[in-house]
């Protein structure tokens, strides 16, 4: 009974392990490319290659050159991309350079560490992307090659050491193709593993330990604990499902931005991508001989030499005392003024108003035009009445006596009453002149 239970338990465990292995090795079709790469580029129906992918990057993007580097693994030299989608276009399919639209990727079902061709000599290592429908040994156009000096190969910042592509023609003539084929027996794939590890160690002077590749179950790639974890499923070219794999959105080639348009956008502003390393090129000598560069030291700018000065004692710099700025005469300090107390305004007492005197009978007979209206005195200006001397009383003429009648008129002396002493004239009312004027009139 115990043996029967033990056999049954072993059978169950074997079935579970078989299901896990089959789940890990489960194959997928091109739909995984269409879905995972759509957010980062555009799918176009190409007449020669079918569905192709154009990344949303600038015109300066170059596959296997921009934003990545080479590491040595058990499968050979493997390209590690800093793009989140780099697990697919740099390990499946092929790239080609379109004269109008730039770099375009054609998907395929075979995985490899990097689908490139290799060249080398004692001075340089170089590589170029394989074109679609071409295998190893195909000579890519001269501008598609990237070269670095042998001592710089394998660096993470390799983009800072690219040789200027203007020297590619001369370098290609002096280099040979590297035929380091490696066959993956599990997936039955053959690829070029790149330069020999021993040779790279000799030029760089560093020991190289191969990094292990660990398959991941989710799209992506990253290095963790000296292992390259990367998503590398087995892709079926032909779908076993009743539905044909199709990109979620297709664009026309006429709607894709051209290389010139991308160049204009790149000049205005850089495309926002995380950790993007754009390839930089350095010039190379025409004879292509290795140059041993001594360590460069930055020399300070030479200043004109001044005649030596005799200094007996070290001069101590005294702190500069800031002198107070001169005060201008037109800005005198303002002395505080005592608060101004407003004095109450004294009201001037007005003279008592005199009630007008009703006109007498004689005045009522006076024409209105000859009357002077009575006006109240104005406070600011008081007009003083004109002081007139009282006229002497009118004396009736005395008839002459007999003696006087005989006397000539010129010898006569008028009899006048003694005049009283002058007294101060009294102030008369304003209507007094009218009375005098009335007295003067004949009765």
Can you tell me the distance from the alpha carbon of 81 to that of 253, in angstroms, rounded to the nearest whole number?
27
How far the first Cα of the chain sits from its last, in Å, is: 181
Cβ atoms of residues 208 and 220 within 8 Å: no
Residue 327: per-residue pLDDT:
47
Residue 24: per-residue pLDDT:
44
Q: Where are the domains of the chain?
A: 24-280
Can you tell me the distance from the alpha carbon of 240 to that of 22, in angstroms, rounded to the nearest whole number?
16
- 281's CB contacts (< 8 A; 6+ apart) are 162, 163, 164, 165
Give φ, ψ of 240 to 5 degrees.
-90, 0
The Cα angle at residue 196 between residues 193 and 201, in degrees rounded to 5? 135
Residue 300: per-residue pLDDT:
47
Q: What is the pTM of this model?
A: 0.58
Cβ atoms of residues 51 and 45 within 8 Å: yes
Can you tell me the distance from the alpha carbon of 213 to that of 224, in angstroms, rounded to the nearest whole number?
10
Residue 125: per-residue pLDDT:
97
Phi-psi region of 102 (alpha: psi -120 to 50; beta: other; left: phi over 0): left
Residue 243: per-residue pLDDT:
82
- 326's CB contacts (< 8 A; 6+ apart) are none
Residue 146: per-residue pLDDT:
95
The Cα angle at residue 365 between residues 363 and 370, in degrees rounded to 5? 70
Q: Give me the tens of pLDDT residue by residue for the chain, a chain 443 residues long.
A: 555 555 455 555 544 443 443 334 457 899 999 999 999 999 999 999 999 999 999 989 999 999 999 999 999 999 999 999 999 999 999 999 998 999 999 999 999 999 999 999 999 999 999 999 866 655 567 778 999 999 999 999 999 999 999 999 999 999 999 999 999 888 889 999 999 999 999 999 999 999 999 999 999 999 998 899 999 999 988 767 778 899 999 999 888 989 888 888 877 765 455 544 555 555 554 444 444 444 444 444 445 445 444 444 445 555 555 555 554 454 455 555 666 656 655 555 565 565 556 555 555 455 545 555 555 556 666 566 666 666 666 666 666 556 555 555 555 554 555 555 555 555 544 554 455 555 555 54
The Cα angle at residue 10 between residues 9 and 11, in degrees rounded to 5? 90
Over its C-alpha atoms, the chain yields an Rg (Å, rounded) of 62
């Amino acid at each position: 009974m115990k043996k029967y239970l033990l056999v049954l338990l072993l059978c169950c465990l074997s079935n579970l392990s078989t299901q896990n292995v089959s789940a890990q090795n489960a194959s997928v079709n091109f739909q995984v490319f269409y879905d995972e790469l759509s957010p980062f580029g555009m799918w176009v129906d190409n007449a020669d290659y079918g569905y192709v992918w154009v990344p949303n990057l600038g015109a300066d993007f170059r596959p296997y050159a921009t934003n990545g580097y080479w590491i040595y693994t058990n499968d050979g030299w493997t390209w590690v991309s800093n793009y989140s989608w780099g697990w697919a276009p740099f390990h499946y399919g092929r790239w080609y350079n379109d004269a109008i639209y730039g770099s375009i990727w054609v998907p395929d079902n075979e995985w490899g560490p990097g689908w490139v061709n290799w060249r080398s000599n004692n001075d340089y290592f170089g590589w170029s992307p394989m074109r679609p429908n071409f295998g190893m040994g195909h000579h890519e156009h001269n501008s598609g090659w990237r070269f670095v000096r042998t001592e710089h190969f394998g660096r993470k910042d390799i983009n800072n050491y690219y040789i200027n592509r203007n020297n590619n023609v001369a370098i290609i003539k002096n280099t040979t193709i590297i035929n380091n084929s490696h066959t993956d027996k599990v997936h039955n794939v053959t690829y070029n593993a790149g330069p020999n590890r021993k040779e790279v160690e000799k030029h760089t002077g560093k020991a190289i330990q191969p990094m292990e590749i660990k398959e991941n179950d989710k799209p992506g790639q990253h290095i963790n604990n000296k292992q390259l974890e990367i998503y590398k499923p087995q892709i079926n070219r032909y779908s076993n499902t009743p539905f044909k794999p199709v990109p979620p959105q297709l664009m026309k080639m006429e709607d894709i931005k051209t290389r010139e348009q991308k160049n204009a956008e790149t000049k205005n502003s850089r495309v926002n991508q995380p950790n993007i390393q754009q390839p930089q090129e350095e010039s190379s000598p025409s004879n292509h001989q290795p140059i041993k560069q001594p360590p460069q030291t930055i020399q300070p700018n030479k200043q004109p030499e001044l005649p030596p000065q005799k200094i007996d004692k070290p001069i101590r710099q005294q702190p500069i005392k800031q002198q107070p700025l001169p005060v201008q005469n037109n800005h005198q300090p303002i002395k505080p003024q005592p608060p101004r107390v407003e004095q109450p305004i004294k009201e001037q007492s007005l003279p008592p108003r005199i009630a007008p005197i009703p006109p007498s009978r004689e005045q009522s007979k006076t024409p209105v035009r000859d009357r002077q209206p009575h006006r109240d005195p104005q406070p600011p200006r008081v007009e003083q009445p004109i002081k007139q001397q009282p006229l002497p009383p009118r004396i009736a003429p005395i008839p002459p006596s007999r003696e006087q009648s005989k006397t000539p008129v010129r010898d006569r002396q008028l009899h006048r009453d003694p005049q009283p002493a002058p007294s101060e004239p009294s102030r008369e009312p304003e209507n007094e002149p009218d009375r005098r004027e009335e007295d003067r009139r004949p009765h």
